[in-house]
């Protein structure tokens, strides 16, 4: 964050005006004139009385910073103050949602409801409504026929890629809390902590419960760093030379907006630490190439050339960088995309969408995991997260290919216990140039620590 706290009141007022204009324009493409947006409901596990972690409907939290209110609704009618139908059931088993306070509430009519019947009574004529939400059965019971119309959702999702100043402030605040967690995790790693202990250090320092993070954190030690979506927290503590590397991919949320940050560390100096340094230089270099008007897929292609240069310089592959990219050898070391849109969801919607009307531009056949193929425009926020991995399955295929003689297999064997590298920052496009929210957040947290 900047040294001056954001003016949340005015930022939110401008954001709400912008959101309302977006939805009004989207509704002009349909016969609906009013909106009912569901927050979503709790879901009970099979043969149990426990519920899964609750996730609010992104369309709900686009309007207001409320994220933990199941069975609530937003009632949006033309020319009228927007209404929050806040679910407050009679319940002595759980804490019931309280009437919210804060800078944003003056813009809302907040109406407590105890049941779906109360919500139904607030609607009036269902024929004039469009419903947006997962629980479509509710809309049918209310008599609403226009349920999640694609013409409306396509328009809204395409627009969501460009963020308002309020949204960028929320995203930067999420980067700030995540940076605190990452620095605590880094310290725990260098003290020899287990994956499980490191994960808990991140949560404590960032002030989050795991179900409130935007995604399940990845905390990987040693060869686990080669598993792109590694999903466990082992309790093993490595000692001495057995501890080699850590990859942590972890983010936090602020007002429903996500951060998504990855860092990789080597426990001791050496060739893997040198590779991390090379990756960081190239990651920062590709960020400097971000500008409006180019397609994100072009950045992805440029990054593969930079990965190839690292492989060549490190003596891992003896081919020209251009040949490595042309023959797709680099895919064996970087099989995922360079990044994705970021916002109300960690993998935000419409990364392939061509226009407000819909249509998609799919990922290139050569790079099928790329999640973003849109042109870079003002106000977008996305991740830049190149990687360089030593994945046994892919290396086995490479060893069976015609290019196997160009690979330094003894060096590969030396590097495989380290797993791999990923470095990920969150980038906002402002005034046609990249603003690195992640690096600003890390600098701010380090400055806080120095001032104590």
User: Coil, helix or strand for 166?
Assistant: helix
180 pLDDT more than 70? yes
> Cα(361)–Cα(318) distance, rounded to whole angstroms?
34
Q: Can you give the pLDDT at residue 32? A: 67
Domains of the chain: 8-148 (3.40.350.10), 165-451 (3.90.230.10)
- Give the pLDDT band (50/70/90) at residue 4: low
Give me the long-range contacts of 119-125 (CB less than 8 A, separation at least 24).
119/73, 119/85, 122/75, 122/83, 122/85, 123/36, 123/75
Using the predicted structure, report yes or no on whether residue 152 has a pLDDT greater than 60: yes
Asked if residues 61 and 344 have their Cβ atoms less than 8 Å apart, the reply is yes
Q: Is 188 exposed, middle or buried (0-12, 13-18, 19+ CB in 10 A)?
A: buried
Q: What is the pLDDT of residues 441-452, one digit of tens each?
A: 999 999 988 887
Whether the predicted model's global pTM rises above the 0.85 cut: yes
Quick one: DSSP state of residue 5? P
Query: How far is it, in rounded angstroms, from Cα 408 to Cα 222?
Result: 21
- Kindly report the three-state secondary structure assignment for every residue of 321-378: HHHHHHCCHHHHCCCCCCCCECCCCCCCCCCCEEECCEEECCCCCCCCCCCCCCECCC
Q: Is the pLDDT at 143 greater than 60, yes or no?
A: yes
Q: Are strands 257-258 and 253-254 parallel, antiparallel or unpaired?
A: antiparallel
With a cut of 80, say whether residue 68 has pLDDT above it.
yes
Banded model confidence at residue 124, pLDDT cuts 50, 70, 90 = confident
Which pLDDT value is given to residue 28?
82
Structure tokens that stand for 221 in this block: 């030690």
* CA within 13 Å, CB half, 382: 37
pLDDT digit string, tens, across residues 188-227: 999 999 999 999 999 999 999 999 999 999 999 999 999 9
Six-digit token pair at 353? 């969408």
């Amino acid at each position: 964050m900047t040294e001056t706290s954001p003016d949340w009141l005015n930022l939110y007022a401008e954001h709400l005006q912008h959101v309302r204009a977006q939805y009004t324009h989207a509704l002009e493409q349909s016969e609906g004139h009013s909106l009912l947006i569901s927050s979503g409901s709790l879901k009970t596990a099979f043969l149990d009385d426990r519920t899964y972690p609750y996730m609010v409907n992104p369309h709900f939290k686009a309007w207001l910073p409320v994220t933990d209110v199941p069975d609530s609704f937003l009632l949006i009618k033309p020319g009228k103050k927007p209404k929050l139908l806040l679910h407050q059931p009679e319940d002595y088993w759980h804490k019931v949602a309280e009437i919210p306070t804060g800078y944003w509430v003056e813009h809302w009519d907040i109406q407590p409801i105890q049941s779906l019947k109360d919500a139904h009574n607030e609607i009036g004529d269902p024929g004039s409504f469009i419903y947006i939400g997962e629980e479509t059965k509710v809309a049918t019971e209310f008599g609403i026929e226009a349920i999640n119309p694609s013409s409306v959702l396509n328009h809204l999702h395409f627009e969501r890629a460009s963020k308002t100043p309020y949204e960028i402030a929320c995203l930067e605040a999420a980067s700030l809390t995540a940076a605190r967690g990452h620095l605590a995790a880094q310290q725990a790693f260098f003290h020899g902590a287990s994956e499980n202990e490191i994960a808990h250090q991140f949560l404590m320092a960032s002030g989050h419960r795991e179900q409130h993070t935007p995604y399940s954190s990845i905390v990987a030690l040693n060869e686990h760093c080669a598993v792109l979506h590694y999903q466990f927290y082992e309790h093993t503590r490595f000692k001495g030379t057995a501890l080699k590397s850590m990859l942590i991919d972890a983010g936090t949320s602020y007002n429903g907006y996500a951060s998504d940050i990855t860092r990789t560390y080597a426990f001791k100096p050496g060739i893997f630490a040198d590779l991390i340094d090379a990756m960081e230089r190239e990651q920062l270099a590709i960020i400097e190439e971000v500008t409006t008007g180019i397609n994100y897929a072009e950045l992805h292609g440029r990054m593969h050339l930079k990965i190839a240069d690292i492989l060549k310089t490190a003596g891992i592959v003896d081919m020209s960088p251009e040949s490595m990219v042309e023959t797709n050898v680099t895919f064996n070391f970087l099989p995922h995309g360079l990044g994705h849109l970021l916002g109300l969801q960690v993998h935000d919607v419409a990364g392939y969408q061509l226009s407000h009307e819909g249509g998609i531009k799919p990922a290139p056949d050569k790079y099928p995991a790329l999640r973003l193929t849109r042109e870079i425009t003002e106000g977008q926020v996305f991740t830049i997260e190149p990687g360089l991995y030593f994945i046994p399955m892919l290396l086995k295929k490479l060893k069976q290919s015609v290019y196997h003689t160009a690979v330094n297999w003894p060096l590969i064997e030396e590097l495989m216990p380290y797993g791999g590298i990923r470095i990920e920052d969150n980038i906002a496009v402002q005034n046609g140039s990249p603003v690195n929210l992640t690096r600003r957040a890390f600098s701010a947290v380090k400055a806080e620590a120095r001032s104590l």
